Amino acid sequence: MTTIKTTPFEGQKPGTSGLRKKTKVFMQAHFLENFVQATFDAVGGVHDKTLVLGGDGRYFGKQAAQTILRMAAANGAQRVIVGQGAWLSTPAASNLIRTRQTNGGIILSASHNPGGVDEDFGVKYNAENGGPAPERITNAIFEITKTISEYKILECEAPDLAETGETMLGDMVVEVIDPVVAYADMMEDIFDFDALRSLFANGFRMRMDSMCAITGPYAVEIFENRLRAPRGTVSHEVPLEDFGGMHPDPNPTWAHELMAELMGENAPDFGAASDGDGDRNMILGPHTYVSPSDSLAVIAANAKLVPAYQSGLKGVARSMPTSAAVDRVAESLGLDCFETPTGWKFFGNLMDAGRVSLCGEESFGTGSDHVREKDGLWAVLMWLNIIAGRGQGVAEIMSDHFKRFGRNYYSRHDYEALPIEQAEAMLGDLRGRLKDLPGMVVEDLMVANADEFSYTDPVDQSVAEGQGFRILFTGGSRVVLRLSGTGTEGATLRIYLERYVPGPDGLTEDPQDALAPIIRATEEIVGVKARTGRIGPDVIT
Ligand code: VG1
Ligand code: CO
């Protein structure tokens, strides 16, 4: 074992999903090592502990895994369970941490950010409940990175991770496992696989776009092997180090091939995509796009059709910027509904305490208490099970839902790579004007209330402040503004727009049209285009 002297690095606070940086930054001498040692130290060391390790297959992932194995061994870990080829989707890693009762795990991914030597890499630590590290751990990691002076590593070759089985690395067991089997088995326990097999046997056509990222092997095993959907149902099914140049972010902009297929002639009955590390999902029907907020609401309303949720949900939760569509379902079903800050870690406490079983975010994230991360393929299977149970297609399910609950027209506008100072000044200025906004009339809208969201965790009473600006208009429309915590270039401003229209009529308008007055009012109040000189958002979802 060698102890290598090092210098503190210009760390950044790990955000809601660990540390994300350009790959070349992680590849600098000692950078990855410093961050990993800081992580080990922040959790009280890894002596005698068991960890899970794997990632989304992106460039540098396997090399990073080998370095981490050598460090874990030098730090006295007892065992590391690692996916073959260093592959594990985020939800599969969460499942392994839980079912193998390990002390935690390290996931190598920058999620939906592009991969490759000139793109992004990321490292995140998940705690023993299988969920993203809570703030107390990420804060400790950050503090340690500022003073770290050495790290421990074994000077030896690490296993190549090509074959499953156990080998020794120093005194530590390296257990290489098939990354897919345990996850696919869990899905078989949750869903009615017989009903889904009949769906496919009766000619139901699906397209699953894995976007050259980690869900490919999982999707092939689940949909094609176990559910016997035709070969070729899963496209871009081989994980590639640069995701084949794709941007594995399942939204209409980046999953444009899938969009074109589902919006075109001879569209299949169902379409879905997932992101780099497999925790996000997008749901489509022929000529139908399901917004993530609506997807959460539909899943909540129909969960009882799925065996694992037959006896009902414990409660539901959504992040604050997510639309209130699920709130209406919760109200009608008599369920508790929690509103949390952005980021999956806030759901963990609620799930651990047995208060909620279903959670979702507007950013294409949906999941349940089967793991402690959002889960892309789980959401796709929820939809398939609901389609099979109701005997309806996606468009019919949506229109029935809107008739019953009304529709929360919703859209998110992202302005990417803004100069950080400019973005911060704009929101700082808004913060100063919040108290003057109520009563202001713009367009035909009057501001009813404006504040900055702060959250007190109902389980441990911890407080998270500064979680986004909310401007509420009379009549229930609203706009939320916040800066991204996961971008790696400049600042990304996210503007979340929402307007509720009760059913049963008038619910087929294009969301951008339905939201046009709120979009104009936001520009008048905040002046995003005026202050940034941009002509419009970079990404609209
Ligand atoms: C984004 C999303 C947020 C999500 C986070 C991690 O964060 O908006 O809802 O929890 O990504 O998702 P931000 O701070 O950039 O808005 V993932 O799939 O990247 O782990
Ligand atoms: Co992700």
Q: Which atom of ligand 1 is nearest to the CA of 482?
A: 16
User: Residue 494 CA: which ligand is closest?
Assistant: 1
**In the chain, what is the greatest distance between 2 CA atoms, to the nearest angstrom?**
70
How many whole angstroms separate alpha carbon 48 and alpha carbon 368? 31
CATH class of 407-540: alpha beta
For the cut 80, the answer to whether the pLDDT of residue 171 exceeds it is: yes
As a whole number, the mean pLDDT across the chain is 93
| Band (177; pLDDT cuts 50, 70, 90) | very high
Provide the pLDDT for residue 3. 81
Distance 5 CA to ligand 1 centre (A): 35
The neighbour count for residue 497, using CB atoms within 10 Å, is 25
More confident site: 147 or 5: 147
- CATH: 3.40.50.2300, 3.40.50.1370, 3.40.120.10, 3.40.50.620. Which one for 2-177? 3.40.120.10
Distance 123 CA to ligand 1 centre (A): 14
Q: Provide the β-strand partners of residue 176.
A: 82, 165
Same CATH topology for 183-405 and 407-540? no
Domain boundaries of the chain, sorted by first residue: 2-177, 183-405, 407-540
More confident site: 4 or 511: 511
State both tokens at 305. Answer: 């059709």
Q: Which atom of ligand 1 is nearest to the CA of 344?
A: 10
Annotated catalytic residue within 89, 111, 357, 411: 111
Provide the pLDDT for residue 13. 67
DSSP assigned state of 243? G
Protein residues within 5 Å, CB atom, of ion ligand 2: 111, 275, 277, 279-280
Q: Clarify whether 17 is annotated catalytic.
A: no
CA 317 to chain centre: 15
Distance 209 CA to ligand 2 centre (A): 15
For the cut 70, the answer to whether the pLDDT of residue 539 exceeds it is: yes
Helix-strand-coil split of the chain, %, nearest 5: 35, 25, 40
User: Residue 485 CA: which ligand is closest?
Assistant: 1
pLDDT digit string, tens, across residues 441-451: 987 888 899 99
User: Residue 111: left if φ>0, alpha if ψ -120 to 50, beta else—which one?
Assistant: left
Nearest CA, atom 10, ligand 1: 343
Among 115-129, 220-234, 266-280, 475-489, name the one with the lowest average pLDDT. 475-489
- Cα-based torsion angle of the residue sequence 268, 290, 367, 217 in order, rounded to the nearest 10 degrees: 30
123 near 36, Cβ under 8 Å?
yes
More confident site: 315 or 3: 315
Q: What residues line ligand 1, using a CB cutoff of 6 Å?
A: 16-17, 111-112, 275, 279-280, 319, 342-344, 361, 363, 365, 484-487, 494
| Band (16; pLDDT cuts 50, 70, 90) | low
In CATH, what number does 183-405 get? 3.40.120.10
How many whole angstroms separate alpha carbon 77 and alpha carbon 86? 18
How many whole angstroms separate alpha carbon 230 and alpha carbon 217? 15
Provide the pLDDT for residue 15. 64
pLDDT digit string, tens, across residues 371-429: 999 999 999 999 999 999 999 999 999 999 999 999 999 999 999 999 999 999 999 99
Q: What is the mean pLDDT of residues 195-215?
A: 97
